[in-house]
Structure 1
Amino acid sequence: MAKVLVGSSRVVCYIPSMRAVSSRMRLFASYRQSQHTAALEQHRDPRDREWPDIKLGLLSPPDRRFPMPGNIGLSASAPSPLAAAIPVHSLDITTLPTRHEKQVMIMEQFFESEEGKAIIEKSEQSSSKKIPNVLECVAQDCPSKLRKGFMELFPEGDLIDDNLTVITLCQKTKNDMSGWSPSVEEERDELTSYFITGAQEICDLLKAEGYWADFVDPSSGLAYNASHTNATLFETDERYKHFGFEIIDLGCCKVLSHPLWGTHAFLGSLFTSAPTDSPIMKKIMQSLRKD
């Protein structure tokens, strides 16, 4: 099971994997979008749901003279009794639920049923036994002495006067990242892909709440969404020492070391103006830690 440790301006969350970050953030974003759509629909003026003119386009009532498929009529001289018996209804597509809304309603009904609850409970028990928590997510305040350097990474963000929170996602790897091999490169590429997907979802959620947010591409060390600059932040950057990591100099190269997993670690980082105790940050951390 995932667990969370809360300290002063520092929140730590342990979850299964980088892939779980990506999938859970997509689900969380989809849920928030469905809630937003439902709220808009609830406060919508009923008059806006009426079609402007039922005679316009393909939504006009069927011609009673041609009741059969393909607009075929039984008689060209007189209206068909069958056609006269067919009631005329105007279709208002604005009142019909979308495919996504139907899926959300069906899933909510299923998860609220006894069968759904039993399946979820069984899945959680199975996951807690088979899938170890090998990803550490930490959200903490950025030290003031590092703000100027990070401002070079993100020229669009006002990082000097505003709050700055750093979110680090560190995954325990199968391979020792202090060396190189085809399996090391393959694992790093896979984790990079999952991190970028999850980080973009997190940034979009934070931006939707009015906060600034961006992250560093682990493969290039550059800010992902900001304008191009010469500033970089690779995982072997000495500044990561301020966030609980160790940078080991091997002579030929440097490697990141995690306090628990040593050099079996992959790191990605996000930056945002959202405080660690803001409602959206709490919801994101809560969504991540759900098993």
Structure 2
Amino acid sequence: MAADNPSFDTSSTLLPPRLVRMDQSTDDDLECSLHYLPKPLMREFGHVFNEEYLQSTAADLSTTSSGENLRLLAIPTNQRAREDLVAVGDHIEQEKDRLLNVFISFGKYICEQIRLKGYWADYIDPCSGLPMISLNCNKVYSEVDGMECLLNYKSYNAGFCKILTHPKWGSAVYPATIFAHAPVDVVKGLIESLPRGATA
């Protein structure tokens, strides 16, 4: 069935992209959505994390004692950059640092909230492509490939780099991903509880 909005894959999408922020005191918005891991991304996830998500005590069974189904979930985030990130210069590096700090705060908060409920969660360092919490993992996750798979966003090659293009923001976009092994309702409720970002 064709989706009204072709920018995301309805087969895996639990929450379509929405702008959220950590709290009302900031205007640092992140585009955020929630997805089941589709098969191509499941292979990538296994390559990066192996079975780290099964090491947590609540996550070693497919269901919890209360009967909740645990699923592998992806929370892709994209931030609109103030500069085209394909460009070079000190101001571009400063903007990347700003975007990194926004995501690290967001990723840490989301993972802490999920882990406090007894489930597994981790987020990817956008600089290295490595997990931030599962420290014994050394395989790199491709944010661009993940955004293509989950959201149907496009990319292009620039030299040795693969550049993501956002349907509204072009290459002025900063992608980063959070993963969880948890009941859908827990993660969905957490995202829906976040303040909405600006609509413009």
Contact 1:13 1:285 in 2 (8 A): no
1:148 paired with 2:43, answer yes
Could you tell me which amino acid in structure 2 is paired with residue 141 of structure 1? Y
Contact 1:139 / 1:167 at 8 angstroms: preserved in 2?
yes
Higher strand proportion, which one?
Answer: 2
> Residue 157 of structure 1: which of 40, 53, 56 is its match?
53
Q: Is the contact between residue 13 and residue 289 of structure 1 (CA under 8 Å) also seen in structure 2?
A: no
Alignment-derived partner of residue 14 in structure 2: 10
Tell me the secondary structure at the aligned position of residue 273 of structure 1: strand
Q: Could you tell me how far 1:13 is from its partner in structure 2? A: 4.7
Which consecutive residues of structure 1, in runs of 5 or more, have no partner in the other structure?
Answer: 1-6, 28-126
Calculate the TM-score normalised by the size of structure 2.
0.74
**Identity %, equivalent residues:** 27
Q: Deviations over 1:184-219 (max 9, x none)?
A: 110111111111111111111111112210000011
Q: How many residues align?
A: 174
* Counterpart residue number, 1:285: 192
Please give the residue correspondences for 1:28-67 in structure 2 after superposition, counting only pairs within 5 Å. none
RMSD between aligned residues: 2.9
Q: Hey, what does 1:262 align to over in structure 2?
A: 170
Segments of 5+ residues of structure 2 without an aligned counterpart are: 1-9, 63-69
Query: Could you tell me how far 1:223 is from its partner in structure 2?
Result: 0.3
Please tell me whether the aligned partners of residues 220 and 234 of structure 1 are also in contact (alpha carbons under 8 angstroms): no
1:188 aligns with 96
Distance 1:230 1:279 in 2: 28
Query: Hey, what does 2:7 align to over in structure 1?
Result: none
TM-score, normalised by the number of residues in structure 1: 0.53
TM-superposed deviation, 1:241: 1.2
Whole-angstrom CA distance in 2 between matches of 1:231 and 1:279:
28
Higher fraction of helix: 1
Question: Within 1, Cα distance between the matches of 2:78 and 2:92?
Answer: 16
